[in-house]
Chain A
Amino acid sequence: MFRAALRLSVSGARSLTRSPPQYAAPLAARCYSHGKQETDEEFDARWITYFNKPDIDAWELRKGMNTLIGYDLVPEPKILDAALRACRRLNDLASAIRILEAVKDKSGPHKDIYPYVIQELRPTLTELGIPTPEELGIDKV
Chain B
Amino acid sequence: MLHLTTGRLGSLLSRRAVVALSCSSVKMSTHGHEVSEQADMSLPMYWDRLDTPLPDKPYQDTLTAADKSLKQKEMGPWTNLSKEEKLALYRLMFKATYAEMRKPSSEWKTVMGGIFFFIGVTGLVVLWQRFYMYPPHPQTLDDEWKAKQVKRMLDMRINPVEGFSSNWDYEKGHWK
Contact residues of A with B, CB < 8 Å? 61-62, 65-66, 69-70, 88, 91-95, 97-99, 101-102, 104-105, 128-131, 133, 135-141
Contact = CB atoms under 8 A, between A and B. Distances in A.
A-B pairs, 6 with minimum CB distance: A94-B93, A129-B78, A129-B79, A102-B53, A62-B54, A101-B98
Contacts of B90: 93-94, 97-98, 136, 138
B55 to A, nearest CB: 8
A39 B135 CA distance: 78
Nearest to A69: B53
Interface residues of B, number: 29
11 contacts: A65-B53, A69-B51, A93-B74, A93-B90, A102-B98, A129-B80, A129-B81, A131-B83, A138-B99, A140-B99, A141-B103
Interface of B: 50-56, 58, 74-75, 77-81, 83, 86-87, 89-90, 92-94, 97-100, 102-103
Contacts of B78: 88, 93, 128-130
Contacts of B75: 91
B98 A105 contact: yes
Nearest to B102: A105
B81 A135 contact: no
B98 A104 contact: yes
A66 B52 contact: yes
